[in-house]
Amino acid sequence: MDSDHRTPVVLCWHMHQPVYQDQHTGEFLFPWVYLHCIKDYVDMAAHLEAHPEARAVVNFAPVLLEQIEEYLVQIERWRHSGTAVSDPVLAALVADSLPEPGSPGFLELMEKCLRANENRIIKRFAPYKRLSELARFYRTRPDIQRYISPQLLVDLLVWYHLGWMGETVRRTHPVIQTLQEKSHQFTMEDRRALLDVIEELMAGLGPRYRHLSQTGQAELAMSPWAHPIVPLLLDFGSAREAMPDIRMPEHSTYPGGKDRADWHIRMGQQVFQRFFGEQAAGCWASEGGLSQDTLALLGEHGFQWTASGDSVGHNSFRLAKEQEALNKEPPIHRPFLFGEQPVTVFFRDDGLSDLIGFNYADWHAEDAVGDLVHHMENIASNSKAGDCPVISVILDGENAWEYYPENGYYFLDELYRVLKNHKTLRLTTYRNLLSEPVCDPVKLPHLVAGSWIYGTFSTWIGDPDKNRAWDLLCEAKQHYDRVMDNGSLTAEQKEKASYQLGLCEGSDWFWWFGDYNPAPVVRDFEHLYRRHLANLYDNIGYPAPARLFQPISQGGGEPARGGAMRPGHEAGGLE
């Protein structure tokens, strides 16, 4: 039993990007992997490094790690052979020639360089703001476009990357500071120096997080390989446990889902081991999507812990009471075991997590941290003797900071500063908690399947557009299964097809389908999903059905934070 009687607090940051690379052309269709690397992943490491007494869990999706590796390989190839990086935006940063003013390529690149938070990034820097205003004027005046200086695009490319730069880098890196001070008329030498910084930051991510793990500051955890919703791969019917009346796809189940879920976990473990040199003790099953069968699968692969949203816990408590296996609901801030499965389950405090994701961005950092810690202190003080509370704050480790001043610099610095030496709260990790142990887990008969969003799977299935996407995937999987069994593919072709299928099984495509999401983002993800599926058909040598090339979803909504994040409950904040 641990001698430190302070209440454990676990901060768990989830890092995840889907695969934006077309496996047939090699092109990265969107730059979000490397941009989040230089903005968020470096900052999250730096804040921990600045507070050696702090502790956190950092969870990585393996396909994100693979894409980081791919970028680094391509940058090195460009250095040695001049082969352009297959990300159009990054390639343009150091391209010898750019599209001519007035050309479609010029306009397309210009538009891409404006995809940044208007208030927190573009308007923060006067030169970037002026360039954005000029670009928007340029857009409305096709009659004068050919007279615009090519330097507009050069400076816009540089400022786009400077704007996305992590705050801890901006404050310390001499190259970034020099470029910001220069502010305009950037040369090829400037552009190449900026690419050097980008490569340096991306190459440093693996060693930095490995070191944080080795020193005990960070516990590194993983998700299944391409971030699929494992309970739905195993059984579409699991969605009915929390939503009995949910509308289902035409296909009753995902063909061979158990084998595919197993494949994603095995692949994820291999990538994680290669990148970090260790096995993960914990698995944030994609989107906190859990079911009793998912717990069994995680147990088969040797994971010690997993986590989800507190609504999943409350749904499971209610079922236990209905089955007379529980007299009253236990506190949500506890470790749990379900059925005979050995994997310990922790539930995030959705209220606390949503405060960071949706409320505190406009607060003064000290006030925000003071409010958050006050809520934690209340949880600790209201716990009864023997409760052994564990306060879990789990959220997106990348998208939230875009809405904070200086990429969340002051908030994160203050959060670690206050919590690292708190009198009644102590930062720790799940692996450390399980090794102590703090107290015995609460044992319940069955976990009601659901995710961290509303305790259901409604974000990924049930909507007509989402169901249609599932039916397209199920149909492709049926053709895949037949081809894999008929002996027409070599071992290498089978492996390639399996990899491509894995990309199609990721959670992100289904997340974005639906009228409540912004139309431009829905269009981007829908296009990428259908391209991944078309590539799968090509891999198995089977003609893609005509309906695959018809739009799945239109979008048109305006959700909070652009839909990239969701609150755990129907309304954000504390209940």
Q: What is the 3-state secondary structure (H, E, C) of 262-284?
A: HHHHHHHHHHHHHHHCCCCCEEC
**What end-to-end distance do the CA atoms of the chain give, in Å?**
33
Q: Which of 123-127, 316-320, 324-328, 442-446 has the lowest mean pLDDT?
A: 324-328
- Answer yes or no: is pLDDT of 473 > 70: yes
Q: Which residue has the higher pLDDT, 283 or 571?
A: 283
Model pLDDT, residue 496: 98
Q: How confident is the model at residue 300 (pLDDT cuts 50, 70, 90)?
A: very high
Mean pLDDT, residues 284-306:
98
Model pLDDT, residue 563: 60
CB neighbour list of residue 84: distance below 8 Å, 6 or more residues apart: 78, 91, 95
Model pLDDT, residue 437: 72
Mean pLDDT, residues 507-530:
90
Instruction: Count CB atoms within 10 A of the CB of residue 144.
Output: 12
Model pLDDT, residue 573: 37
- Whole-angstrom Cα distance, residue 58 to residue 533? 31
Q: How confident is the model at residue 574 (pLDDT cuts 50, 70, 90)?
A: very low
- Whole-angstrom Cα distance, residue 503 to residue 250? 22
- Answer yes or no: is pLDDT of 558 > 80: no
- Indicate the helix (H) or strand (E) that contains 14: strand 7-15
Tokens representing residue 442 in the block: 């609460």
Find, among 414, 365, 406, the residue nearest to 169 by Cα. 406
CA-to-CA separations, 411 to 45, 402, 414, in angstroms, rounded = 15, 12, 5
Model pLDDT, residue 567: 79
Mean pLDDT, residues 377-383:
94
Model pLDDT, residue 564: 65
Tokens representing residue 409 in the block: 């610099």
Q: Which residues pair with 426 in a beta bridge?
A: 8
